[in-house]
Structure 1
Amino acid sequence: MATMEIQELDLREMGTLIQSRVVLEVSNQVQSLLDSLETTTLEIAVTGESGAGKSTFINALLGLHDGDPRAARTGVTETTVSPTPYEHPRLPRVHLWDLPGTGTPRFQAETYLQQVQFERYDFFIIVASERFRQNHAELARAVAAMGKRFYFVRSKVDLDLRASQKRRPTRFQEVQVLREIEADCIRQLEKEGLEFPKVFLISSFELHKYHFQLLQDTLAEELEGHKRHALLLSFPSVTSEAVQKKKASLRKHIWKRALMACFVSALPGLPLHLNIPLLMKTLDSYRKAFGLDDSSLGTLALTASKPPLELKKQVTSTLGKDLSENVVQAILSQAATYGRVAARLVKDRVPLLDNLVAGGISFVAAYYLLHTALDSFAQDAERVLLKAYDLDNELQSSVFYPPEPGFIFD
């Protein structure tokens, strides 16, 4: 009976059935990949002595100013008595933990790690504003013994530089002073028995300077897979290099976003169209990742002592200025036009693939949109940085050129 029923189905009905099942199965697999990406957690522990600037450092990483209700409490006295998580404002599964200070006389590294539940953290950042001491080295050794990575951040280097310049105004050389500070930190830690310690000189108020980019690069290199992606998205883009690395990480996942947006077009019986709300959500997340939303621009303006409107004027791309459905539809229509001639040829010769071809056109259109958006947002972000920090370097060009024909294979 089943055989007779199959024989009675015409070719188009069979194709429709097969397409529906294929699309459903593939869409489930792609959604699973996206779910895995979006549910990845990143738990960063920040510890050090009272007054070292832990909370200020955390707020700088989160892109929050001290007055923000979501920010870590700052002060000249120890404000943290138990591990306190601070959720990233854009990535709810990324947390920076402000751990209690390590400088008390009763401090014992192993006991301390048990108390703060060391196993929950992906790595530890140990902050000191002056000299690294024995307790820092003890903590680092205990962290390493438990299979976790640790990094030393020497904070407040901007204050050290200003003090040095006042002491020796005629002989002051910033690069030389920074080298001296770094060498002294390494010497102290090696004296305490640590081999090849990684020390990064940071100013939480001037992240675009000194070793912040090196810190980010080091962390990214030593994290794997989705955690590396989460780190690159969560850290503020304060240099051109950071902007480009964030763009590259996002670009790796464009094809998944494009497929999910166009699967509805491959289902039989539906006209050629895309999931516009899904694309709008993705584009909005891109814009926020590059710090181009009003809230991020406002925080950067406060940090850089610039008028917010002055930074906002640097956002010149079409999607950056007007992320609306009308603009998105216009870009999609332009991209879809490229595939319609080929689609007609396929439709005439192989009617069975009618709906799959429609889905293919939609995929190219969605991919083109997201690819274009990443390039334009990255260019906007670099212009904003140049203006915010009065950088001398200029972008080679502020004009956006559409991707070349091979762009899908980046």
Structure 2
Amino acid sequence: MEIQEMDLREMGSVIQSHVVLEVSSKVQSLLDSLETTTLEIAVTGDSGVGKSTFINALLGLNDGDRHAAPTGVVETTVSPTPYQHPRLPSVRLWDLPGIGTPCFQAKTYLQQMEFERYDFFIIVASERFRQNHVMLAHAVHAMGKRFYFVRSKVDQDLRASQRRRPTRFQEVQVLREIEADCIRQLKQEGLDSPKVFLVSSFELHRFDFQRLQDTLAEELESHKRHALLLSFPSVTAVAVQKKKDALRKHIWKKALLACVVSALPGLPLQLNIPMLMNTLGSYRRSFGLDDDSLGALAITASKSHGVLKNQVCSTLGKDFSENAVQAILGQAALYGQVAARLVKNKVPLFDNMVAGAISFTAAYYLLHTALDSFAQDAQRVLERAYGLEDEDQGSLCYPPEPGFIYD
């Protein structure tokens, strides 16, 4: 009888190892395809329209950053220049030379710019959209690519309008007038039903930037949509929520990797710490909670770096360390131990599978609660950065709500 039980255990161990390795390979392949999906965004416009500043804003960089696109009132771009996203290497924004200059005529522009490499085009203008812009849009559409019109520097237009008519100034009315004028210009040049997004690169949280992001996301395939949502800066509560939702969809894959590693005979939960730390670090950066991102936001919002950092209240936001991660994992693992002992007594063949289930629960709990907490931190940071919080309440920190298993 003892020999038969030993044979069963050995057989179970072999079966488990084979199944676990197969599952692990499949899950890792899914994650790799998600994380390596490329997104190539082309941004073009005439000189002086704020094209490079717009690119820097999308990358979360200030114009003075050493990795930023050079800016100026004259055309600084003489060839397609890629700018890699600081957190997502597979995402690049391309600064294209302005169309309609002696070197770049509309008829040959797309061939010169190697149009096939880009997923979509953003055409930027600060005053008028011209015939060259419409010709480019038609050419892009004919070649199966999407294009979007961005009317930049609307913050400057609003200030100028307010100076001209201080007693009659209404921001909403002025914005409608700007949008209607842009659409009229584009229709006059022969473009039907154009979509125009009003944007300020220095105040992305205002105007149409969120609508632009939503439109781009809706029209991209799933993996590229995920890359877009993670790469664009979270400057509104809506953006924070959508980024959290995008990340939450894939928590189970990370937790399953933790599960299958622990299900292998003799491998402890602690082996998952580096993988989990890497995932949590990417979450923090995605929400702009790392020091570099907070510093860049402090400059943009003209706020103290320390003031913004004080809005980060979550446990891992304040203490992002292996010890803190291990403590949360240990707490979560306790929840499954009672059930685990029952299962092991009933079905000893699957001891290691039970260990994997505990690891899955612990990793899922860790990632889910951390994601919720980081999103809350990001919301508090944005509120303080842009003066949206209730001054009487100050900085309030709330624990994550329970019930993560049912989301």
TM-score range, shorter chain: over 0.9
1:211 alignment partner in structure 2:
208
Alpha-carbon shift at residue 102 of structure 1 (Å): 1.0
Question: Which stretch has the larger CA shift, 159-168 or 270-279?
Answer: 270-279
1:152 aligns with 2:149: yes
Q: 1:68-109: per-residue Cα shift (whole Å, max 9, x none)? A: 110000001100000000000000110000000113257533
2:173 alignment partner in structure 1:
176
User: What is the 5 A alignment of 1:161-310?
Assistant: 161-310=158-307
1:65 aligns with 2:65: no
- Distance in 2, matches of 1:120 and 1:180, equals 35
User: What is the 5 A alignment of 1:2-401?
Assistant: 10-104=7-101, 107-392=104-389, 398-401=397-400
CA contact (8 A) 1:125 1:152 kept: yes
CA contact (8 A) 1:41 1:94 kept: yes
Alpha-carbon shift at residue 272 of structure 1 (Å): 4.7
- Distance in 2, matches of 1:91 and 1:15, equals 41
Q: 1:280-336: per-residue Cα shift (whole Å, max 9, x none)? A: 111011000000000000000000000100000000111100011111111111111
Change (3 A) 1:398 1:9: closer
Normalising by structure 1, report the TM-score: 0.95
- Distance in 1, matches of 2:347 and 2:197, equals 61
Alpha-carbon shift at residue 393 of structure 1 (Å): 6.5
- Distance in 2, matches of 1:272 and 1:174, equals 56
- Distance in 2, matches of 1:216 and 1:379, equals 21
Alpha-carbon shift at residue 408 of structure 1 (Å): 3.3
Aligned residues: CA RMSD: 1.8
CA contact (8 A) 1:301 1:308 kept: yes
Identity %: 79
CA contact (8 A) 1:50 1:103 kept: no
SS at match of 1:319: helix
One-letter identity of the residue aligned with 1:261: A
Change (3 A) 1:273 1:392: closer
CA contact (8 A) 2:372 2:400 kept: no
- Distance in 1, matches of 2:142 and 2:213, equals 24
One-letter identity of the residue aligned with 2:312: V
CA contact (8 A) 2:258 2:269 kept: no
- Distance in 2, matches of 1:286 and 1:226, equals 17
Change (3 A) 1:171 1:272: closer
Alpha-carbon shift at residue 191 of structure 1 (Å): 1.0
One-letter identity of the residue aligned with 2:173: Q
CA contact (8 A) 2:98 2:104 kept: no
Give unmatched runs, 5+ long, in structure 2: none
Alpha-carbon shift at residue 8 of structure 1 (Å): 10
Q: 1:125-147: per-residue Cα shift (whole Å, max 9, x none)? A: 00000011111101000000000
CA contact (8 A) 2:106 2:136 kept: yes
SS at match of 1:275: helix
CA contact (8 A) 2:126 2:153 kept: yes
Normalising by structure 2, report the TM-score: 0.96
Give unmatched runs, 5+ long, in structure 1: 1-5
CA contact (8 A) 1:48 1:103 kept: no
- Distance in 2, matches of 1:409 and 1:261, equals 20
Alpha-carbon shift at residue 392 of structure 1 (Å): 4.8
SS at match of 1:152: strand
CA contact (8 A) 1:266 1:357 kept: yes
One-letter identity of the residue aligned with 1:290: F
CA contact (8 A) 2:100 2:106 kept: no
One-letter identity of the residue aligned with 2:399: F
Change (3 A) 1:392 1:180: farther
Alpha-carbon shift at residue 192 of structure 1 (Å): 1.1
One-letter identity of the residue aligned with 2:400: Y
SS at match of 1:323: coil
CA contact (8 A) 1:82 1:99 kept: yes
- Distance in 2, matches of 1:78 and 1:206, equals 23
- Distance in 1, matches of 2:5 and 2:307, equals 69
CA contact (8 A) 1:232 1:249 kept: yes
- Distance in 2, matches of 1:182 and 1:8, equals 77
SS at match of 1:291: coil
Alpha-carbon shift at residue 398 of structure 1 (Å): 3.5
- Distance in 1, matches of 2:68 and 2:270, equals 42
Alpha-carbon shift at residue 269 of structure 1 (Å): 2.7
Question: Which stretch has the larger CA shift, 272-281 or 295-304?
Answer: 272-281
Change (3 A) 1:272 1:145: closer
